[in-house]
């Protein structure tokens, strides 16, 4: 009973907070997903049409995403999919959905057969993002896919190709791109408000995360009632059911990537946007299991350092760091980004931004005293992000967090994990999406898949 209560506590805490062969085999094994009558979607969504939405992965994040979609007043929820009956019930009840109007499935391929679904939300665990996203594109659906968009570099590239090939609108769950104060920060940095940026530090301190709290190593057991454990694992290697592996999936390499792929995509994405760059030249990461040793595989304490090429913000290049650990953060900020320039420093997170100028006058901007602060309050991000996606479903324009841009930010995070695993600094070729002169590292750009699921 004590163990079960601990799991429930973790769950409640989280509520607060390839090619053509692939397209045929990854989803169905031997048959194409597309139905004989053509793509299972309307070709055009009119300006006044309601948008039919399906949800794949109705856990905490999926429920939160779908709630934001419903609040726009623009959508009809057509169907939900999850491999755990309890998650479907929670979402139906929590969002006050009517069973007679909303179908529920334990198999995402059934959901994609609905012709009245125009857009799909993919909010599964990390190792399950690529396959249903690509399948949805094939079925003619637009997609809102949670971050990190992919589990490997190759998956991300195949997702970009699928979106382009099928001309789908794909919005990724890096919602800070839709925050007005983040846009303002990007403008300030590109205008060299703090001079030439030499380093950007990013961090998240997860002393209360699932990984750092689940110290108890649970024994293997029978799956929880109503959970299709084999389908939950999907492309991952088979393991007997284990509550650590289920509830703390981000702490295992086969299903997650630790905080470097959980939180860092949000942070690295803003660095890329603000400094107008999309790939590092080198990466070196180190860390270890210093909090939850013996329970998880991914590091709970890590520092990844990236060297980036020159841009207009600094033609000589700059450094980016990501670190994750327990404890308190700078000025008690549990997460954020701090840009160090030749004339000042800028901090930003979802609550707002602060600038510490070193000079008294900067042409074209306000004048501050030597110890003064320029500040800006936080602005909404998630709801505007969903609204931006729905607007693009209608207009067919590129959304704020398009698949190519987010693939690049996610790739930088995955590169950090590869460097950590190998224990050495790696050089990256942005155009080839390959490591330079390192065959062992290049083999880690993809992974082995359990049949019938495969991305190649």
Query: What is the DSSP track for 249-297?
Result: GGGSTTT--THHHHTHHHHHHHHHHHHT----SEEEEEEE-SSSTTT-S
Chain mean position to CA 89: 25
- Considering the domain architecture, whether residues 172 and 305 belong to the same structural domain is answered as no
Which CA distances in Å does 171 have to 144, 177, 387, 433, 445?
5, 11, 11, 22, 23
- Considering the domain architecture, whether residues 147 and 273 belong to the same structural domain is answered as no
- Considering the domain architecture, whether residues 168 and 233 belong to the same structural domain is answered as no
- Considering the domain architecture, whether residues 416 and 369 belong to the same structural domain is answered as yes
- Considering the domain architecture, whether residues 208 and 275 belong to the same structural domain is answered as yes
Q: How far apart are CA 15 and CA 58, in angstroms?
A: 12
Q: What is the pLDDT of residue 380?
A: 96
Chain mean position to CA 447: 19
Q: What is the pLDDT of residue 210?
A: 58
The pTM score is 0.89
Answer left, alpha or beta for residue 110, where phi above 0 means left and psi between -120 and 50 means alpha.
alpha
- Considering the domain architecture, whether residues 51 and 85 belong to the same structural domain is answered as yes
Q: Find out whether the peptide bond into 148 is cis, omega within 30 degrees of 0.
A: yes
Residue 401 φ/ψ, nearest 5 degrees = -110, 75
CATH for 292: 3.30.360.10
- Considering the domain architecture, whether residues 321 and 393 belong to the same structural domain is answered as no
- Considering the domain architecture, whether residues 296 and 356 belong to the same structural domain is answered as yes
387 burial class (0-12, 13-18, 19+ CB within 10 angstroms)? middle
Q: How far apart are CA 186 and CA 276, in angstroms?
A: 9
Residue 367 lies in a domain: yes
- Considering the domain architecture, whether residues 140 and 232 belong to the same structural domain is answered as no
Tokens of 301: 């304490």
Q: How far apart are CA 428 and CA 436, in angstroms?
A: 6
Q: What is the pLDDT of residue 371?
A: 44
pLDDT in tens, the chain (456 residues): 333 233 333 333 333 333 333 333 344 332 233 333 345 655 577 767 999 999 999 999 999 999 999 999 999 999 999 999 999 999 999 999 999 999 999 999 999 999 999 999 999 999 999 999 999 999 999 999 999 999 999 999 999 999 999 999 999 999 999 999 999 999 999 999 999 999 999 999 875 455 556 678 999 999 999 999 999 999 999 999 999 999 999 999 999 999 999 999 999 999 999 999 999 999 999 999 888 778 899 999 999 999 999 999 999 999 999 999 888 887 889 999 999 999 999 999 999 999 987 553 344 444 343 444 578 889 999 999 999 999 999 999 999 999 999 999 999 999 999 999 999 999 999 999 999 999 999 999 999 999 999 999
Q: How many domains does the chain have?
A: 2
Q: What is the pLDDT of residue 16?
A: 33
Residues 420 and 286 sit within 8 Å (Cβ to Cβ): yes
Q: What is the pLDDT of residue 1?
A: 33
Q: What is the pLDDT of residue 153?
A: 98
Residue 117 lies in a domain: yes
Contacts of 119 (CB under 8 A, 6+ apart): 51, 52, 53, 54, 75, 141, 142, 143, 144, 169, 389, 390, 393
Contacts of 2 (CB under 8 A, 6+ apart): none
Q: If you search the block for the tokens 């295992």, which residue do you land on?
A: 252
Residue 221 lies in a domain: yes
Which CA distances in Å does 92 have to 53, 211, 288?
14, 28, 40
Residues 88 and 82 sit within 8 Å (Cβ to Cβ): yes
DSSP summary character for residue 40: S
Residue 443 lies in a domain: no
Residue 38 lies in a domain: yes
pLDDT by residue (tens digit) across 282-319?
A: 999 999 988 877 889 999 999 999 999 999 999 999 99
Residue 136 lies in a domain: yes
DSSP summary character for residue 448: -
**Which run of H or E residues covers position 46?**
none
Q: How far apart are CA 348 and CA 352, in angstroms?
A: 6
- Considering the domain architecture, whether residues 291 and 200 belong to the same structural domain is answered as yes
Residue 192 lies in a domain: yes
Residues 329 and 335 sit within 8 Å (Cβ to Cβ): yes
pLDDT by residue (tens digit) across 402-431?
A: 999 999 999 999 999 999 999 999 999 999
Q: How far apart are CA 133 and CA 130, in angstroms?
A: 5
Note down the domain range covering 106: 14-177+385-402
Residue 321 lies in a domain: yes
Of 141, 76, 70, 153, nearest in space to 109 by CA: 141
- Considering the domain architecture, whether residues 251 and 222 belong to the same structural domain is answered as yes
- Considering the domain architecture, whether residues 266 and 366 belong to the same structural domain is answered as yes
Q: How far apart are CA 358 and CA 392, in angstroms?
A: 41
Residues 377 and 352 sit within 8 Å (Cβ to Cβ): yes
């Amino acid at each position: 009973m004590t163990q079960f209560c601990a799991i429930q506590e973790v769950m409640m805490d989280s509520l607060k907070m390839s090619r053509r062969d692939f397209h045929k085999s990854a989803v169905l094994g031997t048959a194409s997903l597309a139905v004989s009558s053509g793509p299972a979607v309307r070709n055009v969504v009119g300006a006044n049409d309601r948008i039919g939405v399906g949800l794949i992965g109705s856990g905490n994040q999926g429920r939160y995403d779908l709630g934001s979609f419903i609040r726009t007043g623009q959508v009809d929820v057509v169907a939900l999919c999850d491999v755990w009956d309890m998650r479907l019930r929670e979402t139906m009840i929590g969002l006050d959905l009517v069973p007679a109007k909303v179908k529920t499935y334990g198999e995402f391929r059934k959901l994609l057969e609905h012709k009245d679904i125009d857009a799909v939300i993919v909010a599964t665990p990390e190792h399950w993002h690529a396959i249903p996203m690509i399948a949805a594109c094939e079925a003619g659906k637009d997609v809102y896919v949670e971050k990190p968009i992919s589990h490997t570099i190759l998956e991300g590239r195949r997702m970009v190709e699928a979106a382009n090939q099928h001309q789908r609108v794909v919005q990724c769950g890096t919602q800070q791109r839709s925050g007005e104060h983040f846009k303002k920060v990007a403008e300030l940095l590109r205008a060299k408000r703090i001079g030439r940026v030499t380093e950007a530090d990013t961090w998240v301190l997860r002393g209360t995360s699932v990984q750092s709290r689940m110290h108890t190593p649970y024994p293997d057991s029978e799956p929880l009632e109503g959970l299709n454990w084999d389908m939950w694992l999907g492309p991952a290697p088979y393991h007997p059911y284990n509550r650590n592996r289920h509830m703390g999936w981000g702490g295992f390499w086969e299903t997650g990537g630790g905080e470097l792929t959980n939180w860092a995509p949000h942070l690295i994405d803003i660095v890329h946007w603000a400094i107008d760059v999309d790939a590092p030249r080198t990466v070196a990461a180190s860390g270890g299991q210093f909090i939850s040793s013996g329970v998880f595989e991914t590091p709970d304490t890590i520092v990844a350092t990236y060297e980036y090429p020159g841009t207009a913000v600094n033609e000589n290049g700059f450094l980016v760091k990501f670190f994750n650990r327990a404890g308190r953060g700078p000025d008690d900020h549990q997460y954020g980004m701090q840009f160090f320039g030749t004339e000042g420093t800028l901090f930003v997170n979802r609550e707002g931004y602060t600038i510490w100028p070193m000079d008294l006058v900067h042409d074209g901007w306000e004048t501050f005293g030597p110890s003064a602060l320029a500040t800006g309050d936080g602005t909404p991000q998630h709801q505007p992000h969903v609204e931006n996606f729905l607007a693009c479903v209608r207009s067919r324009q590129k959304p704020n967090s398009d698949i190519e841009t987010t693939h690049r930010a996610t790739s930088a995070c995955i590169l950090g994990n590869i460097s950590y695993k190998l224990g050495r600094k790696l050089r990256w070729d942005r155009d080839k999406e390959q490591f330079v002169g390192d065959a062992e590292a290049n083999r880690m750009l993809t992974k082995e898949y359990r049949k019938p699921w495969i991305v190649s």
